Amino acid sequence: MGRRGKKKGRPISGWLVLGKPWDFGSTEAVSKIKWLFKADKAGHAGTLDPLASGMLPIALGEATKTVPYVMDGRKIYEFTVAWGEQRTTDDLEGEVTESSDQRPGRAAIEALLPNYTGVIEQVPPAFSAVKIAGERAYDMARSGEVVEIPSREVEIHRITLLSCPDPDHAIFEVECGKGTYVRALARDFGRDLGCFGHISALRRTMVVPFSEDQMVPLADLTALEEIEDDAERLAALDAFLVPAGEALAGLPRIDISGDQAHRLRMGNPIILRGRDAPVATDDACAFNAGVLVAIGEVAGGEFRPRRVFKA
């Protein structure tokens, strides 16, 4: 008797801008969403720590082809630093390694922030997903190894001190680029101020091009599990999806005809006409009747597809 094949999920495509709850891992969230939507494939655009909450964009189906463009987008976080302790994980989960009775004043904190604006050198936390000789840093750290991660350049577009609710805490908002570790900011702030510090609360409020008002709390999705009819439940879930093309808001857009869309989906280039057509660019996206057809390059008067999307 032949082996029964694995049941395939639905070929649904789109982005879910998930509001991830605290104490829920990013991989766990992706698995939950893939199961809820019965999707054939899923992936997220940027890990969010289990102890962090907020925006976790999850791509389903064909939309997974646009993940790299969202990964490169700016991100905004609101975070609270607790002064007086440095911890192994740079958040509440870790053990205390250093402590101090000193507490920084508002003026001292604000004077420090310009040093952390622009392109800076940052050492990722020992408990992070950074790979060292093929191993994840957090796996090495959990096994008791001394983890030495080289510094890397990250970009901080702006950082603002929102409030100091008490002497032990300060609340910030930061807008940053890909690869920035907010936990490392808390650690470095504490060291520079001579009082030590770690993250006690972290929430991601934006991942460009998505906005906070598009965010859907996980509880709103799981509540739909009570709908017994499969078709009705899936239709209610699908209403939360954002079209794949919205992930490419930062790329030049080319509107094409149905015949051109067919050519691109066959892997063939198309000739561009009109004064508004891009002259040359490494990344552009082609749409037909508002539906994303392909991502590709423009050169020599042609649009050459690199990634195509099913109709």
> What pLDDT, in 10s, does the model give residues 210-250?
999 999 999 999 999 999 999 999 999 999 999 999 999 99
Beta strands in the chain (DSSP E): 14-20, 42-44, 53-60, 75-83, 85-87, 96-99, 118-122, 131-132, 135-136, 152-166, 169-176, 197-207, 216-217, 253-255, 270-271, 281-288, 291-299, 302-308
Span 80-109, average pLDDT: 96
Q: pLDDT tens for residues 153-183?
A: 999 999 999 999 999 999 999 999 999 999 9
57 shares its domain with 144: no
Q: Are residues 66 and 214 in the same domain?
A: yes
Domain that holds residue 221: 14-72+210-244
- Residue 186 falls inside a structural domain: yes
Element (H, E) at 67: helix 67-71
Residues 89 and 187 in one domain: yes
Distances (CA, A) of 208 to 30, 78, 113, 308: 19, 15, 23, 22
What average pLDDT does the segment 23-36 reach? 94
Residue 170 and residue 24 share a domain:
no
Q: Is residue 30 part of a domain?
A: yes
In-domain check, residue 85: yes
Query: Alpha helices of 82-146 — where are they, by DSSP H?
Result: 106-112, 137-142
Number of domains in the chain: 3
pLDDT at 139 (0 to 100):
66
Q: Are residues 149 and 298 in the same domain?
A: no
pLDDT of 1: 46
User: Does residue 8 fall inside a structural domain?
Assistant: no
Mean pLDDT in the chain? 92
Give the residue numbers marked as catalytic. 49
Are 45 and 133 found together in one domain? no
| Per-residue pLDDT at 41 exceeds 60 | yes
pLDDT > 90? residue 85: yes
Q: What is the pLDDT averaged over residues 74-84?
A: 98
Residues 163, 86 share a domain: yes
| Model confidence at 19: pLDDT above 90 | yes
* 27-66: burial string, b at 16+ Cβ within 10 Å, e else: eebbebbbebbbbbbbebbbebbbbbbbbbbbbbbbbbbb
What is the per-residue pLDDT across 121-157, written as a single tens digit (0 to 9) for each?
Answer: 999 887 666 666 566 666 665 666 666 778 899 999 9
Q: Clarify whether residues 84 and 51 are in a common domain.
A: no
pLDDT (0 to 100) of residue 6? 61
Q: Answer yes or no: is 2 within a domain.
A: no
Look up the CATH number of the domain holding residue 227. 3.30.2350.10
Q: Is residue 191 part of a domain?
A: yes
Residue 3 lies in a domain: no
Q: How far apart are CA 119 and CA 267, in angstroms?
A: 39
Q: When comparing pLDDT for 147 and 12, which is higher?
A: 12
* Cα separation values, 15 from 55, 241, 254, Å: 12, 5, 21
pTM of the prediction? Answer: 0.90
